[in-house]
Chains A and B, each alone.
Chain A
Amino acid sequence: MLSLYRPGDGILHRMPAGPKLLLLLALVLAVSLLPSRWWAAAVAGGVVVVVYACAGLRDGMLGMRELARQTVALRWLIVVTLALQLIFLGPEAAVANTTRVTAAVLLAGLLSLTTRVTDLLDAVEHGLRPLDRLRFDSERAAVLLTVTITTVPVLARLAGEVREAQRARGVRPGVRFFAVPFLILSLKHADQLGEALSARGVR
């Protein structure tokens, strides 16, 4: 996920991470609170297109190539959400709700597309600092959040390695034979990462 960052010089890139986080949160909330009507679907879609176009993502198509890429990545979410609601709620509510959910995820995605993790780490730490008076460790919380997010691609790679090793040994794919080695590798990685963080001076 965190290789999602796209260098750029648009308004969102230039905006400090904290205010940007709040702005996108407000947009996500606004889109989420729209009613389940056809016009709401159009508004949610329009907001996403406008915000991506203004983001300055330098994809040669005014952010639309990146928007298409992100939407394709969400295809299964869209299909499942739409299919279930078509059955129970009818076409208008299904399309409106699915568009709102997709729009919310796409808007949230702009945060990682336009913000370096370092800046996000600083913003989270800064935002949580008032809680330090209540013996909350904002520095540790920010590092924890960062490590959690940045570990996602590592776990994806470990999962791939487990599946590959199983295929090489002729084991049929299955949850039981996947879960145990994956869990062990993940815990081993967590141990190594903890040690590496300590070695880098992180408390």
Chain B
Amino acid sequence: MTSRALLLDGVGVRLGEVDALRDVDLDLDARTVAVVGENGSGKSTFARLAAGLVTPTAGTARILGLDPVRQAAELRRRVAVVFSNPDAQIVMPTVAEDVAFSLRPDRLGREETRRRVEETLARFGLSELRERSSHELSGGQKQLLALAGAFVRRPELVIADEPTTYLDARNARLVADHLLADTGHRLVLVTHDLALAARCDAAVLFARGRVEAVGRPADVIAEYESALAC
């Protein structure tokens, strides 16, 4: 973790006719960063930018010191993403196969792949379900599987875009605990759950594609709530 996690200078992202992000300046190096804001405020675009899934149409961005335009492949190797809908992330028919699928680009040997998969399944409490059909799991189990598929690659940065949206309180807490646990990764957590945002080290508030506030979660949340009250 030698480079700044997120360094954005005048970044804009235009999606079709819409300016999803405008003139975003950010310099964040906290281990866990919450991203809050209303629907359509640019949070998810920011998350996709940080994951190298969209590229800036203005300004310059460095994620883990990498240029998301010229070093996209390297960025994707070091960054993992967890989306709100786990169904769209599940590719393989069984739990263990789906976790192993994430390791295909790394071309590890069969034994190393098996070891990493078993280790990750155990960490996320999925060992008993390893032969189960991925699409027949409960919502909470599917999201844990999505997390396992992300963490098995041992990413430096995890981007989680509203990962607890479809979960009940118990599973939401379980997923959040896994994401926030310090296992050597950084986290960018897009969320509408302000209690969850408060557990992060730093927070960013987006509104209409711009950064409205950056700082301690308590301060950023207070500003967000005062904006909501208007």
Are A154 and B135 closer than 8 Å at their CB atoms? yes
* Residue A42, interface by CB 8 Å: no
Residues of A within 8 A of B76 (CB): 198-199, 201
Q: Please, how many angstroms separate the alpha-carbon atoms of A198 and B88 in the complex?
A: 12
Task: Decide: A3 near B133, CB < 8 A? Known: A192-B83, A201-B105.
Answer: yes
Q: Please, how many angstroms separate the alpha-carbon atoms of A157 and B87 in the complex?
A: 10
- Nearest to B105 among chain A residues (CB) is A201
State how many angstroms separate the Cβ of B115 from the closest Cβ of chain A.
15
Binds A, one of B10-18, B96-104, B198-206: B96-104
Q: Please, how many angstroms separate the alpha-carbon atoms of A2 and B90 in the complex?
A: 13
Can you list 29 A-B pairs with a CB-CB distance of less than 8 A?
A3-B93, A3-B136, A5-B93, A116-B97, A117-B93, A117-B94, A118-B97, A118-B101, A143-B104, A146-B91, A150-B93, A154-B87, A157-B135, A189-B87, A189-B88, A193-B89, A193-B91, A195-B48, A195-B53, A196-B81, A199-B51, A199-B79, A199-B81, A200-B80, A200-B101, A200-B102, A200-B153, A201-B76, A201-B153
Are A116 and B105 closer than 8 Å at their CB atoms? no
* Residue A147, interface by CB 8 Å: yes
Are A193 and B53 closer than 8 Å at their CB atoms? no
B92-121 interface with A by 8 A CB criterion: 92-94, 97, 100-102, 104-106
State how many angstroms separate the Cβ of A98 from the closest Cβ of chain B.
30
* Residue B149, interface by CB 8 Å: yes
A141-161 interface with B by 8 A CB criterion: 143, 146-147, 150, 153-154, 157
A179-201 Cβ-contact flags toward B at 8 Å (1 or 0): 00000000001001101111111
Are B100 and A197 closer than 8 Å at their CB atoms? no
State how many angstroms separate the Cβ of B195 from the closest Cβ of chain A.
27
How many chain B residues sit at the interface, stated as a range, is: 20 to 34
- Nearest to B54 among chain A residues (CB) is A195
* Residue A89, interface by CB 8 Å: no
Residues of A within 8 A of B136 (CB): 3
Residues of B within 8 A of A192 (CB): 83, 85, 88-89
Residues of B within 8 A of A143 (CB): 104
Among all A-B residue pairs, the 9 with the closest Cβ atoms: A192-B88, A2-B93, A199-B81, A3-B133, A201-B105, A196-B89, A118-B97, A200-B102, A153-B135
Residues of A within 8 A of B101 (CB): 118, 200
Residues of A within 8 A of B51 (CB): 199
Are A199 and B135 closer than 8 Å at their CB atoms? no
Are B102 and A116 closer than 8 Å at their CB atoms? no
A1-56 interface with B by 8 A CB criterion: 2-3, 5, 7
State how many angstroms separate the Cβ of B124 from the closest Cβ of chain A.
16
Residues of B within 8 A of A3 (CB): 93-94, 133, 135-136
- Nearest to B72 among chain A residues (CB) is A198
B168-186 interface with A by 8 A CB criterion: none
Residues of B within 8 A of A193 (CB): 88-89, 91
Q: Please, how many angstroms separate the alpha-carbon atoms of A202 and B104 in the complex?
A: 8
State how many angstroms separate the Cβ of B127 from the closest Cβ of chain A.
16
Residues of B within 8 A of A203 (CB): 73, 105
Residues of A within 8 A of B81 (CB): 196, 199
B111-149 Cβ-contact flags toward A at 8 Å (1 or 0): 000000000000000000001010110000000000001
* Residue B77, interface by CB 8 Å: yes
Q: Please, how many angstroms separate the alpha-carbon atoms of A146 and B100 in the complex?
A: 14
- Nearest to B88 among chain A residues (CB) is A192
State how many angstroms separate the Cβ of B9 from the closest Cβ of chain A.
24
Q: Please, how many angstroms separate the alpha-carbon atoms of A153 and B102 in the complex?
A: 20
- Nearest to A156 among chain B residues (CB) is B135
Residues of A within 8 A of B53 (CB): 195, 198-199
Residues of A within 8 A of B85 (CB): 192
State how many angstroms separate the Cβ of B92 from the closest Cβ of chain A.
6
Q: Please, how many angstroms separate the alpha-carbon atoms of A2 and B95 in the complex?
A: 12
